[in-house]
Amino acid sequence: MFLTESEQQISAEYQCQGYIIRPVADLSALLWIREQFICLIQDALELIPDEQPDVLLNTIHERVSSANLNAFRLKIIRGINSLDNFRSMYFRVAQPYLETLVGNELSMQLRVNLSIQLPGDDSSLLPIHADTWSGDSPFEVVVWLPLVDCYGRKAMYLLPPEPAAQLNQEFAQRAVASSEELYQAISHQVQWLKVKYGEVLIFNQSLPHGNRVNTEPETRWSMNCRFKGVFTPYGDKKIGEFFEPITLRAVSQAGMRYHLPKL
């Protein structure tokens, strides 16, 4: 293969671990994203801008109850996705890593998702799952971007490739168990990922993953968005419905328009 040494290293790490964690590729894009979040939060809660962004985000549980969390989250995510530049900025934080792992002709999810996990709150749990179990394409990756430092149970877990392959072989027997029973059976094998603000996580969404009750004293804020090669197979989530091409090259566009002349 004609990959550079750096590309080979990233590719090998992804294949071995099922993920990579790297500094964001464009810090100005990350700063812009977090600034928009702060403005939306201040507007939603009618706050006077008098706190540092990390303090406001990490202590949002002091202002938003678990009963009001989903309505608050939906308001924030609608606001951020309505910004014209948001998806472009999101792409920029991971662009060179995506181009190494996925390719340079990419489709991006139409809407970026947001997770807010308050300390001790069990209303925002994501049971163990692999996205491919529900119809996603195995050719997708997830770009997971935190707005705060995520560590311990404030983060997410991932089942590494080797035990995930074993689970797949035993899936028919395991599928009768509840998601909690399944998690307990493999909990000693999962890896909890530490991702600091200023870093980006790209992971293989065909590997089982999820979260648990946040037992840390701070609130988790993280976003996630799927990317895939434009010309790779799609699952249930189709281009135009769930994905949109974002870096289609000129030759591909010309080829898609081409019609062989009829004799």
Expressed as residue numbers, the domain containing 142 is: 9-230
Does pLDDT of 1 surpass 80? no
Mean pLDDT for the stretch of residues 66-76: 96
Whether 260 maps to a domain, the answer reads no
What pTM was computed for the model?
Answer: 0.95
Can you tell me the distance from the alpha carbon of 35 to that of 39, in angstroms, rounded to the nearest whole number? Answer: 6
Whole-number percent of the chain with pLDDT over 70: 100
Q: What pairs with residue 37 in β-bridges?
A: none
pLDDT of residue 188: 96
105-149 tens-digit pLDDT: 999 999 999 999 999 999 889 899 999 999 999 999 999 999 999
pLDDT of residue 259: 94
Can you tell me the distance from the alpha carbon of 229 to that of 245, in angstroms, rounded to the nearest whole number? Answer: 9
Residue found by looking up tokens 């603000």 in the block: 197
Whether 180 maps to a domain, the answer reads yes
Average pLDDT, the chain: 96
24 contact partners, CB below 8 Å, separation of at least 6: 30, 93, 94, 145, 198, 199, 200
Whether 242 maps to a domain, the answer reads no
CB atoms within 10 A of CB 200: 23
Whether 198 maps to a domain, the answer reads yes
16-28 tens-digit pLDDT: 999 999 999 999 9
Whether 249 maps to a domain, the answer reads no
Does pLDDT of 177 surpass 90? no
pLDDT of residue 227: 98
CATH code: domain of residue 60: 2.60.120.620
149-172 tens-digit pLDDT: 999 999 999 999 999 999 999 988
pLDDT of residue 169: 92
Whether 261 maps to a domain, the answer reads no
Whether 259 maps to a domain, the answer reads no
Does pLDDT of 8 surpass 90? yes
Give the CB-side neighbour count of residue 115, counting CA atoms within 13 A.
Answer: 26
pLDDT of residue 78: 97
With residue 220 as reference, give the H or E element that holds it.
strand 220-229
Which ranges in 46-178 belong to alpha helices (H)? Answer: 53-58, 66-81, 86-101, 161-169, 171-174
Lowest mean pLDDT among 171-175, 220-224, 240-244: 171-175
Exposure string (b/e) for 82-113, b if CB count within 10 Å is 16 or more?
Answer: eeeebbebbbbbbbebbebbbbebbbbbeebe
Mean pLDDT for the stretch of residues 72-84: 97
Does pLDDT of 215 surpass 80? yes
238-262 tens-digit pLDDT: 999 999 999 999 999 999 999 999 9
pLDDT confidence band for 48 (50 / 70 / 90): confident
Mean pLDDT for the stretch of residues 33-55: 94
Whether 218 maps to a domain, the answer reads yes
Q: How far is CA 88 from the centre of its chain?
A: 15
Tokens coding 43: 């507007």
Number of domains in the chain: 1
pLDDT confidence band for 229 (50 / 70 / 90): very high
Does pLDDT of 174 surpass 90? no
Mean pLDDT for the stretch of residues 49-62: 93
Does pLDDT of 175 surpass 80? no
